[in-house]
């Protein structure tokens, strides 16, 4: 479980929640628990604080997942053993560390000085032409 993720919904104030799974590109909904406002109170649209919430991914603008949440989830998984308790083994593409399928941070292969230089130059050309 990824704790303290900030979910930004279209036309609403952001809220914090614990994500059951890390979202993948094929997901149509976001499953979360422990939904709360940014100051820690229960949102007005929530009846029961201990509920599990299914949010349509079409309504989600973006999600902020702190790096500490990935580290905490990896530590909890290692303490539980090889099989994750929340069913992450059935979820293809679930990575406990961003950018990695096996939970290990990848080695830096690029010697560029910034993230813009890592982009495909042909893609940048097509964006400029549009």
pLDDT(99) > 70: no
The tens digit of pLDDT for each residue in 18-53 reads 999 888 989 999 999 999 999 999 999 899 888 999
Span 81-104, average pLDDT: 48
Helix extents (H) in 1-130: 67-80, 121-129
Please give the mean pLDDT across all residues of the chain.
77
Enumerate domains of the chain plus CATH numbers. Answer: 1-130 (2.30.30.100)
pLDDT at residue 109, as a whole number: 47
Task: Calculate mean pLDDT across residues 10-16.
Answer: 93
Judge residue 7's burial from the number of C-beta atoms within 10 Å of its C-beta, 0-12 exposed, 13-18 middle, 19 or more buried: buried
- What confidence score (pLDDT) does residue 71 get? 87
Smallest CA-to-CA distance from 16 within 49, 56, 57, 48 is with 49
pLDDT value at 65 more than 70: yes
Looking at residue 17, its pLDDT comes to 95
Burial of 22 (0-12, 13-18, 19+ CB in 10 A): buried
Q: What pLDDT was estimated at residue 70?
A: 85
Residue 92 and residue 24 in contact, taking contact as beta carbons nearer than 8 Å: yes
pTM: 0.60
Q: Which of 71, 85, 79 is nearest to 20 (CA)?
A: 85
């Amino acid at each position: 479980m990824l704790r303290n993720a900030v979910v930004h919904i279209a036309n609403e104030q952001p809220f914090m929640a614990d994500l059951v799974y890390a979202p993948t590109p094929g997901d149509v909904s976001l499953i979360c628990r422990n939904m709360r406002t940014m100051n820690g109170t229960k949102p007005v649209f929530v009846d029961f604080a201990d509920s599990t919430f299914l949010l349509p991914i079409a309504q989600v603008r973006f999600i902020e997942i702190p790096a500490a949440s990935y580290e905490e989830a990896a530590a909890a998984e290692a303490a539980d053993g090889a099989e994750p308790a929340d069913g992450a083994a059935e979820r293809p593409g679930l990575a406990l560390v961003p950018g990695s399928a096996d939970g290990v941070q990848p080695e830096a292969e690029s010697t560029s000085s910034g993230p813009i230089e890592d982009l495909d130059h042909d893609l940048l050309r097509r964006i400029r032409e549009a």
